Amino acid sequence: MVQYSRDRLDTSFAALSDATRRGVLERLGRADASITDLARQFDMTLTGMKKHVGVLEQVGLITTEKVGRVRTCRLGPRRLEAEVEWMERYRRLWAARFDELDEVVEDLKQREMSDARKQRD
């Protein structure tokens, strides 16, 4: 099992809670890009994009490198493993919980049918 701190999940899910930031990750999944490129593509001011890039960089989802006047962004080393793991665990709990409910409903149905038969007999 991957070890992770609760705080780390807090900040990574928070980083993912913005459509522009998710879009930037998808964009960088295709090719590296400068902040200027990203700002243009997402129709945003340079300042606004710098803020989003800062959030993603702080969480380790992207890395940036400045050469001359251009800061290039690329995907960082994090693969969202702990995050996917948490969600998979939740989905298993969810499925177990609803299967259980299905069983209860099925059980109730069987009992009703059995009671109805007894009343007929």
Quote the Cα angle for 92-4-31, to 5°: 90
Residues within window 18-57 making contact with a second copy, judged by CB under 8 A: 18-19, 22, 25-26, 28-30
Going by C-beta distance under 8 Å and a sequence separation of 6 or more, which residues neighbour residue 14? Answer: 55
| Burial of 38: CB neighbours in 10 Å, binned 0-12, 13-18, 19+ | buried
Residues within window 79-98 making contact with a second copy, judged by CB under 8 A: 79-80, 83-84, 86-91, 93-98
Q: Which of 4, 9, 50, 57 binds a second copy (CB under 8 A)?
A: 9
Q: At what angle do helices 6-16 and 19-30 cross, to 10 degrees?
A: 90
We find the least distance from the C-beta atom of residue 56 to a second copy, in angstroms, to be 12
We find the least distance from the C-beta atom of residue 112 to a second copy, in angstroms, to be 23
We find the least distance from the C-beta atom of residue 110 to a second copy, in angstroms, to be 23
